[in-house]
Structures are given as C-alpha cells and as structure tokens.
Structure 1
C-alpha cells in the first residue's frame, strides 16, 4: 500500500513539474487592435476639441490644425466600418482615400514645409443606404469647417455655422453607433 501511495505521489509531482516551455514574448510587441467603439470615441474626442476651439473663437490656423487632425485620424474609422456596413464599402473606401493628403512637389522645400493639398470636395460615390450618408458626413462636416477656417477673418456667423457642422457630426456618430450595434 505504501508503495502504491508513493507511486501516486511521484506521478502527481511529475505532472506538476511539467517542463512545458513558457511562451516567449516576441521582441516586437503587437499593437493592440483598436475597436470600432474606440475609434468612435477617438473621433468624438477630436471633434469636441474642434467645437471647443470654435466656442473660444480660436485662430484660423488652430482651427485648421484641429480639423486636419480630425480628418486624418478618421482613416481607420472608415476602414473599420467596412466590416459593419458592407453596403457602404465603395463609399467608405473613397472616404478613407480622401483622408490621405499629398504634399505638392517643388524644389523650394521651405515654402512647402507645412503645405499639403486637401481636396475640400472629394468625389464620393452615391450612398447605397442611410448609414453610408452618416459615414460621409463624418468627413464632409470637418472638411466644411476646414474650408471656413481658411478665410482670413471669420465672422461670428462663421463660427456658429462651423459649430453646427461639428454638432451634426456627433449626431452622425450616434446614428452609426446604433446601426453597427444592431447589425
């Protein structure tokens, strides 16, 4: 009996001391995948910064910088929405392409240092569903604010109109959150 108990004890000990190698972490850490919800939150956070700048009647350069940051950071959101809104794939692809800007070619690099070419009226396909329209407005509203910010002197009405465009973007985000949660 002692011999049997001793054998069981040894088996338990050996199974507890399994020599399985622990998975090694790769030297290159993987970037965590950003969820659609996080991208919606990021968009809203940046849009809120634009609204605050409009409320404070910031300079046109500050408004341009903030709206440009919002526009360029939207690329991932548009690409991520493709899985949720397959009926909008053509539109979402065009939106993602429209958020990538080019620097003009010239020999005078100092003059073009911060200048980029922005298409304020991108050629977008007709939307196939209301969800596609909501997604398009997430780009078109900040582009309209950017366009207004290019004016030398903004009037009070310009700030109000731009603020309404950004508030409309919040409504579009809420609509898309509802649509993507249902599907």
Structure 2
C-alpha cells in the first residue's frame, strides 16, 4: 500500500512539473485611457494631501511641494474637461497652459526650483457657471501655493487655505454633476 501511495505521489509531482506552453499574446497591450472620473479622483486625492498638510500645520515648503504637485498634475483634467464642457474650451485651454511646464527633469522638486509658478494667470472670462467651477480647480491651489510662499504662516493662514481647498472639493462635485459622471 505504501508503494502504491508513493507511486501516485510521484506521478502527481511529475505531472505538476510538466512544461505547459504559455498562451501566446496575439494582441498588443495598450495603455488604458484615463477617464475623466479617474482624473477627478486623482485631483481629489492630491487635494486631500494638501488638506492633511494644512490640518497638521506642515511647513511652508511641504505645502508648496504638495500644491505644486496638485497644480502640475491637473493639466490632463483640464484638457479632458474640454470635451465635456465645450463652452469652456478657451478657459480650460488657458488653465492647461498655466499648469504645463517644460519638464527637463522627472524630479518634481528640481522642476519646482527651476520654475516660477504664475499664481495669477490670465484666464478668459467664463462663459458659463461650469467654467467658473473649473477655474476654481486651478485658482484655489494657486492661492494656497501663494500663501505657502510666506516665510511664516499663522493659524489663520492655514484656516484660509483649508477653506480654499474645501471649495475645490465642492467644485469637483459640481463638475461631476454637470458632466453627468457618477
């Protein structure tokens, strides 16, 4: 009986070790497109990082770094919104242009040291309320960035900055409703 069990065990081991050909990939894998909802979620995630830093009354440099990352990463969101909000095309393009920097390095810190952010970009007058909501997604983080450039931040500065970022969350919700994203 022992020999029979041992033989079955060896047969199972050998069959498990059998080389099985891997299925060939006939399709080229494509990078999936980022949806507008994913871009909203990404924006919100980065905005929450800024809010957490404000709640912890983090150093001004950390706030600058976080808001810089939020500002520069929102380019795709503004460009993607153009299809959903054609009435805001000029404004959204100006906002995308304001967030794009010629990246000579992948290092965000090095890029920030090389670039000076225009904290008051010239944006066209908005043609619809949806354009106003979209503009606030850029203007609120820019206001926080400008505030973080101060050498010494008071408690009221942190509170004002949190209000700006909270307003950005409200604007995202408005834009989600307007663009019918659930």
Q: Is the 8 A contact 1:102 1:117 kept in 2?
A: no
Q: Report the equivalent of 1:41.
A: 41
Q: Which residue of 2 aligns with 1:119?
A: 118
Distance 1:161 1:76, change over 3 A: same
Contact 2:68/2:112, CA 8 A, preserved across alignment: no
- Residue 92 (structure 2) aligns with: 92
Q: CA 1:39/1:112 → structure 2, altered by over 3 Å: closer, same or farther?
A: closer
Task: Give, in angstroms, the shift of residue 56 of structure 1.
Answer: 0.2
Q: Which residue of 1 aligns with 2:30?
A: 30
CA shift, 1:25, in A, is: 3.2
Quote the Cα distance in structure 2 between the aligned partners of 1:23 and 1:53.
46
> Are the counterparts in 2 of residues 47 and 70 from structure 1 also a CA contact under 8 Å?
yes
Query: TM-score, normalised on structure 1?
Result: 0.78
Shift of 1:31: 1.6
Q: Could you tell me whether the CA contact under 8 Å between 1:36 and 1:81 is conserved in 2? A: yes
Change (3 A) 1:117 1:128: same
Secondary structure, in 3 states, of the residue corresponding to 2:113?
coil
User: 1:104-155 CA deviation, whole Å, 9 max, x = no partner?
Assistant: xxxxxxx998231211100000000000000000000000000000000000
Report the alpha carbon displacement of residue 55 of structure 1 after superposing the two structures with TM.
0.2
Residue 147, structure 1, aligned to residue 146, structure 2: yes
Question: Normalising by the residue count of structure 2, what TM-score does the alignment of the two structures yield?
Answer: 0.79
Structure 2 counterpart SS, 1:164: helix
Q: Structure 2: which 5+ runs fail to align?
A: 1-23, 104-109
Task: Give the superposition deviation at 1:23.
Answer: 6.7
Aligned-residue Cα RMSD (Å) equals: 1.9
Query: CA, structure 1 residues 156+82, in 2 after alignment: closer, same or farther (shift >3 Å)?
Result: same
The equivalent residue for 2:159 is 160
Task: Render the CA deviation track for 1:5-52: whole Å, top value 9, x for unaligned.
Answer: xxxxxxxxxxxxxxxxx87233xx422100000100000000000000
Moved over 4 A (4+): none
Q: How far apart in 2 are the matches of 1:167 and 1:95?
A: 20
Contact 1:78 1:95 in 2 (8 A): yes
Counterpart in the other structure of 1:171: 170
Q: How many residues end up aligned between the 2 structures?
A: 152
